[in-house]
Amino acid sequence: MSKYHGKGTQIYWDEFNLSGMSSSVTINRDAPTVDTSCFTATDTTAVVGMRSWNAAVSSFWDDTTTTGTHAIYQADFATADHTISIYPSGITAGMRGWGNYGVIQTSFNTTGPVAGAVTAEANHQGSGELEALWCLGGSTSTTAGSLTLASYNLAASLASTGMAGYLHVTALSGSPDVAFVIQDSPDDATFTDLVTFTNASAATSERVAVTGSSSQYFRVKYTLGASTTSCTFVVGFHR
Amino acid sequence: MAKYHGKSVYFTVADSDGTARKISCDLASVSLNRDAPTADVTGFCGNDTTAVIGMRSYNIALDGFWSDTGSTGTYTVLNGILGASTTWELGPAGSGTGMVKLSGSGFCTAFNTTGAVGAALGMSATIQGTGAISASTY
């Protein structure tokens, strides 16, 4: 892992990939403290409070039907419970990111300067934990049957922990019901199902939480219906 | 349908007689700022804040050139409705057939004139929205 150029950033908002319409994203995370300094002390002391976060996304105003920023934000403005996944260094397996499933879109600003492009600025207010993700990869598949993405090694197993999978299906045409599963393995050979998503019959998004232990190798298994023509998706994993 | 240069922005505002006036040719920037603030509903026993959605609001920030042209200049139109109710219409990509049209009602709450020795006489104005924004097409 290293430093990265910003051009690889991927932003998923529900069933939409905002990356091709956006030019900047800033994730602001705060954990304010309360001062507990008392008389006679020489140095201040503090205790930490509660965390909060928001994400500011700068995009180009795009009136593409259904999938442009105008249509997306016009519909989602001032509504809650959206699922977001942000991968600053791209969606290759193993790239880090963040996800949340209770997001509220709290602003939608459209600006038209005479000497520039029309822009759309949106702020997404988080509600609940901003979960750290490992991207398990993304793909556009047109092949029927069960396939897997390359596995990723998290280098250690965990005996018991809360886990969650994040799925964004940004395009699905043809026959419905594509199945997505996150599998884990102790040896990168024998995999078992760990997180099972609801079968996708159209572009969609979902966060599925599970508990228990997990191994160290993870991969995405997906199964397209026989006549499904195309499915584009990305999957992330939190533990 | 796609991304657009800002040069085609179309904006009208109703003058003191209620007539919609196209003033976008005297403007250099139009910003429609929409907010939906949340209320914190975080209780004890958690590590992360939680929130619920509240009520939407918006304002429109106009920046451009001061113009006293007839009945359509920025001074003529906006000075006449300062402190009064008005209606507005915004076409971010222009007003051609099929382009997105946003419209609503509001109050002109600011009209500022700026004169600098080395620049064009400028103006800025704010329209505070009231009620919902309507979205349709031209």
pLDDT 10s digits, A82-139:
999 999 999 999 999 999 999 999 999 999 999 999 999 999 999 999 999 999 999 9
Asked if B9 and A74 come within 8 Å (Cβ–Cβ), the reply is: no
B38 has a chain A CB within 8 A of its CB = yes
Residue A197 has a pLDDT of 98
Residue A230 has a pLDDT of 86
Please indicate whether residue A145 or residue A85 has the higher confidence score (pLDDT): A85
Question: Which whole number is the average pLDDT over B38-50?
Answer: 86
3-state secondary structure of A236: strand
What does the alpha-carbon distance between residue B21 and residue B15 come to, in Å, rounded to a whole number? 7
Question: Which whole number is the average pLDDT over A134-150?
Answer: 90
Architecture of domain B6-36+54-137: Roll (2.30)
Cβ(A231)–Cβ(A140) under 8 Å?
A: yes
Does A185 score more than 90 pLDDT?
yes
The shortest CB-CB distance from A52 to any of B29, B49, B52 is to: B49
B90 has a chain A CB within 8 A of its CB = yes
pLDDT, tens digit (0-9, with 9 covering 90-100), for A48-65: 888 899 999 999 999 999
Name the average pLDDT for chain A: 92
CA distance A98 to chain B (A): 15
Question: Which whole number is the average pLDDT over A30-57?
Answer: 89
CA distance B65 to chain A (A): 12
Residue A1 has a pLDDT of 55
Would you state the structure tokens that stand for residue B135, as one six-digit string? 């979205």
B68 has a chain A CB within 8 A of its CB = no
Q: Is A96 exposed, middle or buried (0-12, 13-18, 19+ CB in 10 A)?
A: middle
What does the alpha-carbon distance between residue B41 and residue A200 come to, in Å, rounded to a whole number? 33
Each domain of chain B, given as residue ranges in start order, spans 6-36+54-137
What does the alpha-carbon distance between residue A182 and residue A70 come to, in Å, rounded to a whole number? 33
Chain B residues in contact with A60 by the CB 8 A cut-off are 3
Q: Which residues contact B117 (CB under 8 A, 6 or more apart)?
A: none
| Chain A residue with minimum CA distance to B7 | A114
A52 has a chain B CB within 8 A of its CB = yes
Asked if B6 and A104 come within 8 Å (Cβ–Cβ), the reply is: no
Range ranked top by mean pLDDT from A131-145, A207-221, B103-117: A207-221
Asked if A110 and B32 come within 8 Å (Cβ–Cβ), the reply is: yes
pLDDT over 70 for what percent of chain A? 99
The shortest CB-CB distance from B29 to any of A60, A74, A114 is to: A114
* Residue of A94, A122, A120, A90 lying closest to A107 (CA atoms): A122
Asked if B51 and A125 come within 8 Å (Cβ–Cβ), the reply is: yes
Asked if B3 and A117 come within 8 Å (Cβ–Cβ), the reply is: yes
> Which of B23, B26, B34 best tests the A interface by mutation, with the highest count of A CBs <10 A?
B34
Please indicate whether residue A39 or residue A124 has the higher confidence score (pLDDT): A124
What does the alpha-carbon distance between residue A150 and residue A187 come to, in Å, rounded to a whole number? 14
Chain A residues in contact with B93 by the CB 8 A cut-off are 61, 63, 118
Residue B108 has a pLDDT of 92
Residue A42 has a pLDDT of 85
Question: Which whole number is the average pLDDT over A171-184?
Answer: 90
Q: Which range among A25-29, A79-83, A231-235, B59-63 shows the weakest confidence by mean pLDDT? A: A25-29
**What sections of B40-94 are H helices per DSSP?**
74-81
Chain B residues in contact with A76 by the CB 8 A cut-off are none
B137 has a chain A CB within 8 A of its CB = no
Does B124 score more than 90 pLDDT?
yes
Residue B1 has a pLDDT of 64
What does the alpha-carbon distance between residue B2 and residue A165 come to, in Å, rounded to a whole number? 32
User: How many Cβ contacts (< 8 angstroms) between chains A and B?
Assistant: 119
Confidence of residue B115 (pLDDT cuts 50, 70, 90): confident
The shortest CB-CB distance from A105 to any of B2, B36, B46 is to: B36
